[in-house]
Amino acid sequence: MKRLLPFIILAIGIFSCSQPSEENNSQSMSDEDRLELATEIAQNTIMVDGHVDLPYRMKVGGFTLQREILDVSVRTEGGNFDYPRTKEGGLDAPFMSIFLPANLQQVPGASKALADSLILMTERLANTFPDKFAMAYSPADIEANFEKGLVSLPMGMENGSGIEDDLDNVEYFHSRGIRYITLTHGRDNLIGDASYDTTGTHGGLSDYGRQVVEEMNRVGIMVDLSHVSDNTFRDALEVTKVPAIASHSSARVFTPGFERNMSDELIQAMAKNGGVMMINFGGTFIDSAYAAGRDKVRDHIVNWLAENELSRSDSAAQAYIKKYTEENNPFPSVERVADHIDHVVNLVGIDYVGLGSDFDGVGDSLPTGLKDVSMYPNLIAELLKRGYSREDIEKICYKNIFRVWKAVEDYAASQG
């Protein structure tokens, strides 16, 4: 037996080496088999999305138990998010965006009041359907909800205007469940300059904004640098003592001149900080050619309707619009989202990228194959096709953002 042992070990080794893992084999799979594997991964892996604009959509749609208005516990005709589609796509923890429009900044108290209203609306969703949704204030909460089969509803506040001019509101919003704050939105605010605003009010982060970032660190709220200007981005990374995030941004290399996206310099700076960039799925975010293609299709349809004396509501017009749009599809594809992930991975590594779809926030611009929350497996299948392993995909889906979130929690705990 002892003489046979080396040969047995060798045979086992050869057999083991000849059995490729499912991930390594995924590149040679058929598209159908690869999608099946992707769906299995999505269903059995915690998936966090950094930004879903459901609360504001519920506000606009009139959230109520009367299903004829808006009830996302069942399948809805509009929007990108509801419970059935969420479960189909394997999404477990969509960060609910507590979105505060920049125009409210001009009215004292208005931003904070809206934030409170949207937080209550999110809590009401979890309380009304406790068999489907649950609030989540930490990675541990998400893990516990995942084991129960519940969709977690962590919250991030989109626009630091809700803090107004009172630093105590940072701790207040932490007590209300907010776990990240996007420092700005469409316009410069008291905290700093925004990417969509060319005013440059502060030249970056304001003195007050520095205090806000320090206070966010102290209480345990992640610093979100989506929407900020490049100068604000750099300043915030200098101030923060913990990793930061970009909850819904994409790579500027694919959209030259679009400051809302992140340049390679900023991606590298965020990686050096230990943060995570969560890729936005919106068409204008992932492909500079989308806007031109969309406008061309829209102009053609407008002219065709006028020439044929039809309105969009006419059945003949709807059929034509559907056919023409399909034949002249201006939308980018799921592959383009994977290109952005590839770019970040190639630039700084797998540990600094995540998902931040902006579902319910980017209108109908979403790419083919990623039109709603049921379609995450399509993206995972594309990543498998490109050679990403299950461990890589787990990092993208939740491990990277959990690492940052836990670091923020640990720092806050150390501050007493």
207 three-state secondary structure: helix
pLDDT of residue 294: 77
Q: What is the pLDDT of residue 6?
A: 43
Q: Count the neighbouring beta carbons within 10 Å of the beta carbon of residue 402.
A: 21
**DSSP symbol at 3:** T
Written as six digits, the tokens of 109 are 């108290």
Please name the helix (run of DSSP H) or strand (run of DSSP E) that holds residue 156, with its range, or none.
strand 155-158
Note the helical H segments in 45-82: 54-61
C-alpha pair distances (Å), 367 with each of 35, 99, 359, 396: 18, 23, 11, 19
Domain 30-287+334-414 has CATH 3.20.20.140: yes
- Give the pLDDT of the chain (416 residues) as one tens digit per residue: 434 444 443 444 443 343 345 555 888 899 999 999 999 999 999 999 999 999 999 888 655 444 445 789 999 988 999 999 999 999 999 999 999 999 999 999 999 999 999 999 999 999 999 999 999 999 999 999 999 999 999 999 999 999 999 999 999 999 999 999 999 999 999 999 999 999 999 999 999 999 999 999 999 999 999 999 999 999 999 999 999 999 999 999 999 999 999 999 999 999 999 999 999 999 999 998 887 777 787 787 888 888 888 888 888 888 888 887 777 777 899 999 999 999 999 999 999 999 999 999 998 899 999 999 999 999 999 999 999 999 999 999 999 999 999 999 999 999 97
Q: What is the pLDDT of residue 24?
A: 57
Could you tell me the residue ranges of all domains in the chain?
Answer: 30-287+334-414, 288-331
List helix spans (H) across 45-81: 54-61
pLDDT at residue 364 in the model: 86
Position of tokens 């300059």?
193
For 321-331, letters b (16+ CB in 10 Å) and e give: beeebeeeebb
Which alpha helices (DSSP H) does 204-244 contain, by range? 207-219, 230-239
How many angstroms separate the Cα of 166 from the Cα of each of 8, 106, 304, 349?
72, 15, 54, 38
Q: Read off the pLDDT of residues 395-405 as tens digits, 9 standing for 90 and up.
A: 999 999 999 99
| Whole-angstrom Cα Rg for the chain | 23
Residue 113: CB atoms within 10 Å? 13
